[in-house]
Amino acid sequence: MYQIDNSTATTTKPTRGATGPNVGGYFTGGNPATSTPATIVDPDWMNMLQDEFSAILAAAGIAQNKSNDGQLLQALQSGALTFGTDSGTAGAYVVAATNAPATLTNGMRVAFFANAGPNAGACTLNYAGLGVKSLLNVAGAAFTGGEIVAGQSVLAVYNGVAFQAVNTKLFDFDVSRTNITASATVSPTAYETVVSCANGSAITVTLGAGKVPGQRVTVLGSGAAPVTVASAVSSGQPAFWMPDGSEIYSVVLADAYGAAFEAVWDGNGWRARTIGQEIVANAIASNHAVALGQFKKTGSTAWVLPAATAAAGTVSCSGTRTLPDGRLVNWAVIQLVDSTNVTWTFPTAFGVGVTGMRCFNLSIATGQTGTANVGIVDLVSLPTLNSVELVVHNTTLGGTLVAFYVEAEGY
């Protein structure tokens, strides 16, 4: 694109004339038969068109090039028209626009790289000096902390009241593992959190509020003393809602290897699930823990660990359960060793297919030979309806046999 440059062009923009009589009109070629003249293409209109196109290139930072007829398209594709520079602080973003709009409009997009971070909580955005507005997450809720780090790209859309970031995370889509040796409060930030308790400690694990619905926390028993699981967000209400809709105030994991309790955040509180076991009775006294022995294992065998010398592939216990939504869950405790492929045959075959798998190392919770977080379990191939082939990789494992809990969900 280029501005007119021939010998009859002027270097000074002429003053625009008064508004004509036919506002919103159209061009015509005229009609000699009716003495209708053709539309005159006047300099006001041509200068306006030229300036409109030039402004788009300038906003995108593109210099006019007489030999390039694709610059307008290049500017529209560049993303620079919605990009601004942030000079604010963590959680309070101040973004300057190349060509500032006169006002914020519904659907307006703003892209920027965060100047500082991470945010400590709720965020605001002041775009082009048009006022401080709330910056919400992709779900339309206030940020809670840690979602936007320094240098992170943020794309936000104005909804008429606030900006809503469409590319920021709700939380870390990962698995976090922590080992505690004393009573503690765990406030999960990862998609899935596994809490292991040190052997011999009678402690309480208190669950803090989750970030978004669907987060899961699994608490593993210590293997030598009871572990109580409570909630910090119950506010006098039941700490956990059980799968059958009943209510409890806390849960005690018996002092047995493999005892585990899982809870899922529903946005307001924790809903209980279990791993390799199911709840068969409910505490009826307010503010009392579920009595020891309230859990039982599903499947034909008791929850036991493989012997330290058991061969790779040894399944010491396994079972099957069906969730309220109809999903089938197969689980097992299986012995794995570094770089050796092992086939796990599901206790109950799936009818349609496997939708997900999860596993974790039981060495911390059980005291079995091994160190924290050893072993990364991979699938050798995709699961069939009847089995899956697993292998554990870790150069520090050094051939040590380690028990893993594995679980497959599907239909």
Quick one: pLDDT at residue 308? Answer: 63
Determine the Cα–Cα distance for residues 239 and 294; give it in Å rounded to an integer: 16
Q: Which residue has better confidence, 162 or 97?
A: 162
> How far, in whole angstroms, is CA 234 from its chain's centroid?
25
Q: Which residue has better confidence, 104 or 177?
A: 104
Quick one: pLDDT at residue 283? Answer: 39
Q: Residue 116 — very low, low, confident or very high, per pLDDT cuts 50/70/90? A: very high
Q: What is the mean pLDDT of the chain?
A: 77
The string of pLDDT tens digits covering residues 184-236 is: 888 887 778 888 877 566 788 888 888 777 788 888 776 667 777 888 775 44
Q: Best-predicted range by mean pLDDT among 3-12, 98-107, 249-258, 310-319?
A: 3-12
**Cis bond leading into 306, ω under 30°?**
no
Mean pLDDT of 83-92: 93
83 DSSP assignment: B
The string of pLDDT tens digits covering residues 283-336 is: 344 434 443 333 333 443 345 566 666 788 888 778 888 877 788 888 888 887
Q: Which residue has better confidence, 402 or 291?
A: 402
Mean pLDDT of 100-105: 89
The CATH fold of domain 299-411:
Immunoglobulin-like (2.60.40)
Contact 134, 123 (CB under 8 A): yes
Q: Which residue has better confidence, 166 or 370?
A: 166
Predicted confidence (pLDDT) at residue 365 exceeds the cutoff of 70: no
Determine the Cα–Cα distance for residues 336 and 363; give it in Å rounded to an integer: 12
Predicted confidence (pLDDT) at residue 20 exceeds the cutoff of 80: yes
Q: Give the least confident one: 29-38, 63-72, 285-294.
A: 285-294
Quick one: pLDDT at residue 315? Answer: 86
Quick one: pLDDT at residue 370? Answer: 39
Determine the Cα–Cα distance for residues 408 and 390; give it in Å rounded to an integer: 12
Quick one: pLDDT at residue 96? Answer: 93
Predicted confidence (pLDDT) at residue 373 exceeds the cutoff of 70: no
Determine the Cα–Cα distance for residues 329 and 152; give it in Å rounded to an integer: 38
Quick one: pLDDT at residue 325? Answer: 76
The string of pLDDT tens digits covering residues 254-294 is: 554 456 778 888 777 888 765 444 333 333 444 344 433 33
Residue recorded with tokens 């899935």: 192
Sign of CA dihedral 289, 326, 343, 173: negative
CA distances from 95 to 89, 114, 196 (A): 11, 9, 44
The string of pLDDT tens digits covering residues 127-164 is: 999 999 999 988 788 988 878 888 989 999 999 999 99
The token pair at 382 is: 């995709």
341-344 contact pairs (CB < 8 A, 24+): 341/380, 341/389, 341/390, 341/391, 342/312, 342/313, 342/389, 342/390, 342/391, 343/313, 343/387, 343/388, 343/389, 343/390, 344/313, 344/315, 344/387, 344/388, 344/389, 344/390, 344/406
Predicted confidence (pLDDT) at residue 69 exceeds the cutoff of 70: yes
Predicted confidence (pLDDT) at residue 367 exceeds the cutoff of 60: no
Predicted confidence (pLDDT) at residue 246 exceeds the cutoff of 80: no
Quick one: pLDDT at residue 98? Answer: 73
The token pair at 11 is: 């270097």
Determine the Cα–Cα distance for residues 2 and 193; give it in Å rounded to an integer: 59
- Pinpoint the residues of the chain covered by CATH 2.60.40.3940: 299-411
